[in-house]
C-alpha cells in the first residue's frame, strides 16, 4: 500500500465506500427500475391524474453496453486497488445483476486479495445466487444483500417482472447456512403496491434473523414514472412497525451509515429504514460509484460522470489515475435535489448506475 492522502471532497467528507458495477444487464424488470412489463404499465397508468400528473409511462430508449465498453476484471481490479490505496476500505460488487457477469467469482477473488479491503460485499436479486454461492464464499465474499420486495408470489411477479420468489427465499437461507454475515435483505416500498406488506416483511426478518432494510422509492426508474405520492416516508414506515413490534434503537458509530436501525426485542434480526427522499443523509455521504463502463459517479443522482476508460486503456500511470480520482472527489455534490424545483432525474437508471 502507498501512503497516499485520503480522498476528501470540498465539504470535508472522506470517501471510504466504493460501489463497483460489473454489468448493466439484469434478469429482473423491477417496477422501480426497469418498468418494462405490462403489469408495471398498468400500475403506473392508474396513478396518473391528467390534471396534475399528465405524464405517460415512457421508458427511455435503452441499449445494453457492448462488451468492448465494459471494464475487464483487470481494469476493475486496478481502479479498486488505486482507490483503496487512497483510503477506500469498503467495496460492494453490484450491477445490474452482478451474477449475470460470467466468472464474477474470479473478480471477487481478485478484490479480496487487495490489501486494505476491509469489507467486501455484493448486492444481488438472488435469482442466480444458489449456483454461485459456494464459489463466491470461497473467493472471499463475506457479506451479501438481496432484494425482496414482496412475500406474495403474484405481487412479487408484478414488481419484478418474473416468477422468482421461491428462488430468492432459498438464496437467503443458503447464504445464512454458508456463513455470510450479516445477510441483508432490501425492500423498496411503494405506496399502493407493496406497502401493505410492511409488517409481513418485518416478521420475515425476525423469524429468519435477518437485517432487513426498507428503502424509500427513489426517482431512478427508466420509465420516468416516479411520483412523490408513491413514496412511503420512512417516518410512516417506522410508526407502523413500532405499532406491531417491540423495537430497540441500534446506536451506530458510523456517521455515514445510510440506515437508521432497530433490533427486535427478542434479539432476532433487525430492521433498518433508508429514507433518502424525506430524510436525506447527504451530509455524511462517503460513497463513490464505478459504473460497468468505467465512469465514476459521485452521487446516485449525478447529472455528470467522469470517464476512467481513456486512462485505463491508454498509457496512464497509477499516479495519473489516482490524481484523477482526487480531482473527481473534489467536485462531489453537496446533496441531491429530490423534491426541489430544480431536480432533474439522471439519464441512467439504477440498473445502469449500480446500487
Q: Is the dihedral of CA 193, 196, 202, 208 positive or negative?
A: negative
Q: Where are the domains of the chain?
A: 17-353
Q: For strands 287-290 and 17-21, give the pairing.
A: parallel
pLDDT band at 49 (very low <50, low <70, confident <90, very high): low
Q: Name the grid cell of 278.
A: 424525506
Residue 51 scores a pLDDT above 70: no
Q: What is the pLDDT of residue 5?
A: 95
Instruction: For 175, list phi and psi in degrees, rounded to 5.
Output: -60, -40
Q: What percentage of the chain exceeds 70 in pLDDT?
A: 94
The CA radius of gyration of the chain, in Å to the nearest whole number, is 20
Residue 175 scores a pLDDT above 80: yes
Q: How far apart are CA 80 and CA 77, in angstroms?
A: 5
Residue 342 scores a pLDDT above 70: yes
Q: What is the pLDDT of residue 343?
A: 75
CB-based contact 143:181 (threshold 8 Å)? yes
CB-based contact 201:168 (threshold 8 Å)? no
Q: Which CATH architecture has domain 17-353?
A: Alpha-Beta Barrel (3.20)
Please compute the mean of the pLDDT values over residues 340-347 and round it to a whole number: 74
Q: What percentage of the chain exceeds 90 in pLDDT?
A: 72
Per residue in 271-284, pLDDT (tens digit) is 999 999 998 888 89
Q: Name the grid cell of 143.
A: 457479506
Please compute the mean of the pLDDT values over residues 188-215 and round it to a whole number: 97
Amino acid at each position: 500500500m502507498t501512503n497516499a492522502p485520503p480522498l476528501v471532497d470540498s465539504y470535508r467528507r472522506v470517501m471510504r465506500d466504493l460501489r463497483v458495477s460489473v454489468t448493466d444487464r439484469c434478469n429482473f424488470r423491477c417496477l422501480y427500475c426497469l418498468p418494462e412489463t405490462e403489469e408495471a404499465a398498468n400500475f403506473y397508468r392508474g396513478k396518473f391524474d391528467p390534471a396534475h400528473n399528465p405524464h405517460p409511462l415512457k421508458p427511455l430508449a435503452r441499449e445494453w453496453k457492448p462488451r468492448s465498453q465494459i471494464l475487464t476484471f483487470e481494469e476493475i481490479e486496478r481502479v479498486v486497488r488505486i482507490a483503496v490505496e487512497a483510503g477506500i476500505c469498503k467495496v460492494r460488487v453490484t450491477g445490474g445483476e452482478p451474477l449475470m457477469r460470467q466468472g464474477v467469482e474470479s473478480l471477487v477473488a481478485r478484490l479480496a486479495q487487495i490489501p486494505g479491503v476491509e469489507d467486501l460485499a455484493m448486492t444481488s436479486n438472488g435469482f442466480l445466487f444458489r449456483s454461485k454461492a459456494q464459489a463466491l464464499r470461497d473467493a472471499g465474499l463475506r457479506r451479501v444483500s438481496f432484494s425482496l420486495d414482496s412475500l406474495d408470489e403474484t405481487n412479487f411477479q408484478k414488481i419484478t417482472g418474473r416468477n422468482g420468489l421461491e428462488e430468492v427465499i432459498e438464496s437467503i437461507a443458503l447464504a445464512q447456512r454458508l456463513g455470510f454475515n450479516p445477510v441483508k435483505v432490501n425492500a423498496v416500498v411503494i405506496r399502493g403496491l407493496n406497502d401493505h406488506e410492511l409488517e409481513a416483511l418485518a416478521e420475515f426478518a425476525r423469524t429468519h434473523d435477518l437485517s432487513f432494510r426498507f428503502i424509500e422509492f427513489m426517482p431512478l426508474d427508466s420509465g420516468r414514472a416516479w411520483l412523490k405520492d408513491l413514496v412511503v416516508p420512512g417516518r410512516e414506515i417506522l410508526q407502523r412497525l413500532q405499532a406491531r413490534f417491540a423495537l430497540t434503537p441500534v446506536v451506530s458509530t458510523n456517521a455515514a451509515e445510510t440506515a437508521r436501525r432497530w433490533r427486535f426485542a427478542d434479539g432476532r434480526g433487525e430492521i433498518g429504514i433508508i429514507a433518502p427522499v424525506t430524510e436525506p443523509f447527504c451530509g455524511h455521504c462517503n460513497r463513490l460509484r464505478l459504473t460497468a463502463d468505467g465512469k465514476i459517479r459521485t452521487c446516485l443522482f449525478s447529472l455528470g460522470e467522469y470517464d476512467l476508460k481513456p486512462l485505463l486503456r491508454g498509457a496512464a500511470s497509477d499516479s495519473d489515475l489516482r490524481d484523477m480520482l482526487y480531482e473527481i472527489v473534489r467536485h462531489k455534490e453537496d446533496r441531491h435535489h429530490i423534491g426541489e424545483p430544480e431536480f432533474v432525474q439522471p439519464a441512467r437508471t439504477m440498473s445502469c448506475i449500480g446500487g
